[in-house]
Amino acid sequence: MPIHFCTLFDRNYLYKGLALYHSLLAHCQDFRIWILCMDEITWDLLDKLKLEKAHLIRICEFEDRELQQVKPTRTVAEYCWTCTPSLPLYVLRRNPSLDSIAYLDADLFFYSHPRPIYDEVDDGSIMIIEHRFPPHLKHFEINGIYNVEMLMFRNDAPARECLQWWRERCIEWCYYRLEDGKLGDQKYLDDWPTRFPGVHVLQHKGAGVALWNVMRYAVTKQENAVYIDEAPLIFYHFHQFTLLPDGKYDFGNRGEYVLSPEAIEFIYRPYVAAIEREIDRVRGIDRSFNYGYGSYKFRQSESFLVRLSRLPRRMKKLFSNS
């Protein structure tokens, strides 16, 4: 039985969204993913790429009156967050035979099959993942105990009730600021384990690894598989990963966020290679496409790497801050 996913992104996340798609294709061939294209440029390019496992949704077909009314009051990022709970609902309502749907952030990347996630959740209605901050970052939980990175919803009454409630809250208020116990779409998840029945908080170490918690774990590679302590890495969340216009990358590893040499080699290096494949793929369709690049915010010695995938391994450390 196929596993069903959905995600959303605009032209500035196109490379990352394509990297996510192809990582699923590499590790989970029996899947389908619904992609909400947040602008026409994204829809046009993806349509030309003919992604076999993807169902494309145009933003003009997706938006209802309630979403259209709040759109002018939100930034681009805030509107994407506002749309997040509406997307799984949209897919389930149009595909009532689906057993479940999982929402994925576009900046995730899979390193192995997601089946262990589903095995652990079993017959649960809703799956959420904690940030799992290490002790020195525990204060960040004020921004949310759980992360909206991968959420699974069974096609049952508790999950549909949860999605409807979450959609209504995000339409009412979804801004990038901490206010009255709310922050974007994320803080709304804090009380789900007590608000809704059938909520499972995922325990698998290999899912939900990210810049804010990877320093908690030993990252190793065994027989071509990446491990987080004793667990195989399923997916990594590339929070703050930024493409730069001169071909370098900001990994976001500064201050309290620390990446080990092993994390850079076994997790980030393959992702850089994947992003560069997507750049080549998109440029093969549209040579003029030039979106998705950030700007310099920090000194190069703090956080930038050149195109690692095209460097000999012996030179890697000359260009990293590891």
134-193 tens-digit pLDDT: 999 999 999 999 999 999 999 999 999 999 999 999 999 999 999 999 999 999 999 999
**How far from 182 is each of 132, 145, 175, 179, CA to CA, in Å?**
19, 12, 8, 5
Residues constituting the chain: 322
Domains and CATH numbers, the chain: 3-201 (3.90.550.10), 220-318 (no CATH)
Q: 226 - beta bridge partners?
A: 221
Q: What percent of the chain has pLDDT over 90?
A: 89
In the 8-state DSSP scheme, what is residue 233? P
Number of H helices, E strands in the chain: 12, 16
Residue in this structure with the two tokens 């992003």, named with its chain if needed:
275
305 backbone φψ class: left, alpha, beta (φ>0; ψ -120 to 50): beta
Those residues with Cβ within 8 angstroms of residue 1's Cβ, 6 or more apart along the chain or in another chain: 30, 99
| pLDDT for position 29 | 86
Write out the two tokens for 135. 């002790």
Write out the two tokens for 167. 């959609």
CB neighbours of residue 299 within 10 Å: 9
| pLDDT for position 280 | 97
Question: In this model, does residue 50 exceed pLDDT 90?
Answer: yes
CB neighbours of residue 46 within 10 Å: 21
Question: In this model, does residue 240 exceed pLDDT 80?
Answer: yes
Q: 3 near 118, Cβ under 8 Å?
A: yes
Question: In this model, does residue 239 exceed pLDDT 80?
Answer: yes
Residue 217: CA count within 13 A, CB half-sphere: 28
Alpha carbons 16 and 4: distance in angstroms, whole number: 19
Alpha carbons 254 and 109: distance in angstroms, whole number: 21
Tens of pLDDT along 87-143? 999 999 999 999 999 999 999 999 999 999 999 999 999 999 999 999 999 999 999
Quote the longest CA-to-CA distance of the chain: 56
Alpha carbons 88 and 101: distance in angstroms, whole number: 6
Ranges of beta strands (E only) in the chain are 3-9, 31-37, 54-58, 100-104, 108-110, 126-130, 146-154, 199-201, 209-210, 219-222, 225-228, 231-232, 235-237, 242-243, 249-250, 304-305
Alpha carbons 128 and 146: distance in angstroms, whole number: 7
**How far from 58 is each of 32, 36, 62, 263, CA to CA, in Å?**
17, 6, 6, 36
| pLDDT for position 1 | 83
| pLDDT for position 99 | 97
CB neighbours of residue 22 within 10 Å: 18
Ranges of beta strands (E only) in 3-107 are 3-9, 31-37, 54-58, 100-104
Q: 255 near 211, Cβ under 8 Å?
A: no
Those residues with Cβ within 8 angstroms of residue 234's Cβ, 6 or more apart along the chain or in another chain: 110, 111, 112, 113, 114, 116, 117, 204, 206, 207
Q: 147 - beta bridge partners?
A: 129
